[in-house]
Amino acid sequence: MAATVMRSFSASYIPRSQGSSALGLLPFRRRWASTFQQAIAASSPRTTWTRNEISDIYNQPLMELASAAGTVHRRFHKPSAVQLCTLMNIKTGGCTEDCSYCAQSSRYDTGLEATKLSKVESVLEAAKIAKENGSNRFCMGAAWRDMKGRKSGIRNIVEMIKGVRALGMEACVTLGMLDKEQARQLKEAGLTAYNHNLDTSREHYSKIITTRSYDERLQTLENVREAGIHVCSGGILGLGEIPETDHVGLIHSLATLPDHPESFPVNKLVPIKGTPMFGQEPVKLEDIVRCIATARIVMPATIIRLAAGRVTMPESEQMLCFMAGANAIFTGEKMLTTDCNGWDEDKAMFSRWGLVPLQTEASQVTTDPVSVHHDFSILDDGRRMEADERYQAHA
């Protein structure tokens, strides 16, 4: 019955601009609220979303949407905990693909010099520094279309993964398209997660990339999932898309996979001179928050990563994203080829806002280098409740 209500409503989208004064639409608004309220009340993730249901959620009044996402966030995640990740480029530039936002594509004159694959030792040194600064996930990116014919490359990457795991950190790589056998090899090395973004909605995709299809991307995600590796897949906002349709389309593609990705990175376009995307109108904060909040409600157990472009967001804007459900950041010296907020800056931000580093099962980084305000709440009866206790209560 509930599914019938949601389906019947799914054909009746009400634009945000009509607001509550559209009295004639009250019956529809009630059903709209019903879709939204059922989503907020969910106790487990579901993969049967229709696109219109997600659109209904995305188009809620922003304050209600963000507040509901915060409620869902507290049910599925430890409040105030944000994962610190560091992303290193292990092979820069010279990529044959035509992703129109990317500094590393050989098709665009961005002034970036191509390099060979980094040495295993230098990568592990960088991972050690990241760990010492509190990151518990180390991600490694190579500017490749795929892994075909890269036997020695994969051997070295296997050593990097093993080394990062031996440090007690989560290891994630992003190496382009992957077949089943390559995924199996990476799993055997101990890889925690594989990143492969869908970037945008299926409809907008061909305006951004023409050298590989949306379905090829989905096939890589399937190969990763089949190998037993966590899936990290998200998008880039600000690629000239229409937020109301393309953000919804992106979330729908991922939220209806057989299992939700464990990780959903939300990137804000960093416009690179020389790429076709340079000069694009920047994505609005409200659309970033809307996208994060919708993803939080639709994929409640997923870790949402505030990724590239965070460096351009004032702290107050970042906080809105955390309140709407983001619970991971990239921190360190660089994020691939773009600037990144540094560890010291993030430690200070954590301290100001009472955030704590998110510990994960797959990592054993337990040192807390961040001097934080102690995380507790005072209950109505005056008792003090620690953050861990509060999480248990919500779980």
**Cα–Cα distance between 377 and 379 in angstroms, integer?**
6
Any catalytic annotation for residue 99? Answer: yes
Any catalytic annotation for residue 95? Answer: yes
Maximum CA pair distance of the chain? Answer: 67
Is residue 60 classed as helix, strand or coil in its secondary structure?
A: coil
Any catalytic annotation for residue 139? Answer: yes
Check whether 85 is labelled as a binding-site residue.
Answer: no
**Cα–Cα distance between 270 and 101 in angstroms, integer?**
8
Check whether 212 is labelled as a binding-site residue.
Answer: no
Strands 376-378 and 384-386: antiparallel
Check whether 95 is labelled as a binding-site residue.
Answer: yes
Contact 92, 143 (CB under 8 A): yes
Report the half-sphere exposure of 92 (CA within 13 A, side-chain side): 17
Count of residues that bind ligand SF4 according to CB under 6 A: 9
Q: Which listed range, 46-54, 57-65, 92-100, 215-223, lies at the site for ligand SF4 (CB under 6 A)?
A: 92-100
Q: What are phi and psi of 117, to 5 degrees?
A: -60, 135
* Choice between 145 and 384, CB closer to ligand SF4: 145
**Cα–Cα distance between 122 and 160 in angstroms, integer?**
10
Closest CA to 15 of 28, 2, 4: 28
Residues 116-175 that bind ligand SF4 (CB under 6 A): 143, 145
Check whether 172 is labelled as a binding-site residue.
Answer: yes
Any catalytic annotation for residue 321? Answer: no
Check whether 291 is labelled as a binding-site residue.
Answer: no
Contact 266, 306 (CB under 8 A): yes
* Catalytic residue (one of 99, 291, 321, 340): 99
The correct pick among 66, 84, 95, 239 for binding ligand SF4 (CB under 6 A) is 95
The correct pick among 134, 176, 261, 309 for binding ligand SF4 (CB under 6 A) is 176
* Catalytic residue (one of 172, 291, 321, 340): 172
Check whether 340 is labelled as a binding-site residue.
Answer: no
**Cα–Cα distance between 204 and 249 in angstroms, integer?**
9
Q: Does 265 bind ligand SF4 (CB under 6 A)?
A: no
Check whether 75 is labelled as a binding-site residue.
Answer: no
Any catalytic annotation for residue 85? Answer: no
Is residue 253 classed as helix, strand or coil in its secondary structure?
A: helix
Any catalytic annotation for residue 305? Answer: yes
Is residue 193 classed as helix, strand or coil in its secondary structure?
A: strand
* Choice between 236 and 358, CB closer to ligand SF4: 236
Closest CA to 93 of 221, 217, 275: 275
* Choice between 104 and 182, CB closer to ligand SF4: 104
In the complex, what is the shortest distance from the CB of residue 71 to ligand SF4, in angstroms, rounded to a whole number?
35
Q: Does 97 bind ligand SF4 (CB under 6 A)?
A: yes
Q: Does 102 bind ligand SF4 (CB under 6 A)?
A: yes
Q: What is the DSSP letter of 45?
A: -
Q: Does 346 bind ligand SF4 (CB under 6 A)?
A: no
State the amino acid at position 214 in one-letter form. Answer: Y
Query: Which residue matches tokens 């909605």?
Result: 201
Q: Which listed range, 94-102, 160-168, 184-192, 250-258, lies at the site for ligand SF4 (CB under 6 A)?
A: 94-102
Which residues are annotated as part of the binding site for [4Fe-4S] cluster? 95, 99, 102
Residues annotated as part of the active site:
95, 99, 102, 139, 172, 232, 305
Residues near ligand SF4 (CB under 6 A): 95, 97, 99, 102, 104-105, 143, 145, 176
